[in-house]
Amino acid sequence: MRGRNLKIRLLIGAAIALFFVFKRCSQQEVNPYTGRTQTISMSANEEIAIGLQSAPQMAQQHGGLHENNQYQALVDNVGNKLVNNSVARETPYKYEFHLLADANTINAFALPGGQVFITYALFSKLENEDQLAGVLGHEIGHVLGRHSAERIAESEYWQGLVTAGSVGADMGGVISGIGQNTLLTNGRDDELESDELGVLFMLKAGYNPEEMIGVMEVLKDAAGPNRVPEFQSTHPDPDNRIEKIREAIRKYKNQ
């Protein structure tokens, strides 16, 4: 009886796994702006809706929007200049740039669909407009690269395999560990792709991409000597990012 039950469980687990494998295959599409094949489970309009719905909550978590209109205008001007002079203007996304009041958390991030945020803590560390362009260009790269949508679809896929493994042969924990490592690696690749796109956007808009290296130094100083090792983080080590940024500058500077 136990052998029969195990066989049934294995068949059910295999059926669930096959369903998610076929589902993932049906969600493969080529990003027209990067040329990369991705797993995407939502439309651009759904990304935009998620970003607009989540933006107020994200702002609230960082103390709301900064009250200095002059600073906000600078962020808007730089962000819009990057969009209007690059392939980003051809995307369906509605780019909006927000300066957050948070004076303690050095961070910038983008929601799906074009909502881009930078904290005052990071803004105040930047030495010039070119460095601000580096930060915002990187975040525009995340939007254009559809990184959030891709992570959502990939997470759904691995969660499905975890379920299949748990039903079929008590392998859910093993599959979960493999999935987490895969998502971490993919997350680091997203950061490097956004860095490269940021370099390209800066050059198109007339900014000096060398200043992105200064941004990396700011992030490295903020992380301090006890920063999380790269293999445990979704972000590449700043020193590795600097090397890749220099490669991107050489790649695009004479184009």
Tens digit of each residue's pLDDT, the chain (255 residues): 555 665 655 555 555 555 445 555 555 788 888 888 887 777 899 889 988 998 999 999 999 999 999 999 999 999 999 999 999 999 999 999 999 999 998 989 898 899 999 999 999 999 999 999 999 999 999 999 988 888 877 666 446 545 545 544 454 443 344 334 433 444 678 889 999 999 999 999 999 999 999 999 988 887 665 555 443 445 677 788 899 999 999 998 876
Model pTM? 0.78
CA gap 156, 169 in Å, rounded: 20
Q: Which amino acid is at 241?
A: R
Q: Where are the beta strands (DSSP E) in the chain?
A: 28-30, 37-39, 96-100, 108-110, 115-119
User: What are the φ/ψ torsions at residue 117 (nearest 5 degrees)?
Assistant: -130, 145
DSSP state of 228: P
State the alpha helices, DSSP H only, in the chain: 2-26, 44-61, 69-84, 120-123, 129-144, 147-169, 172-205, 211-223, 238-252
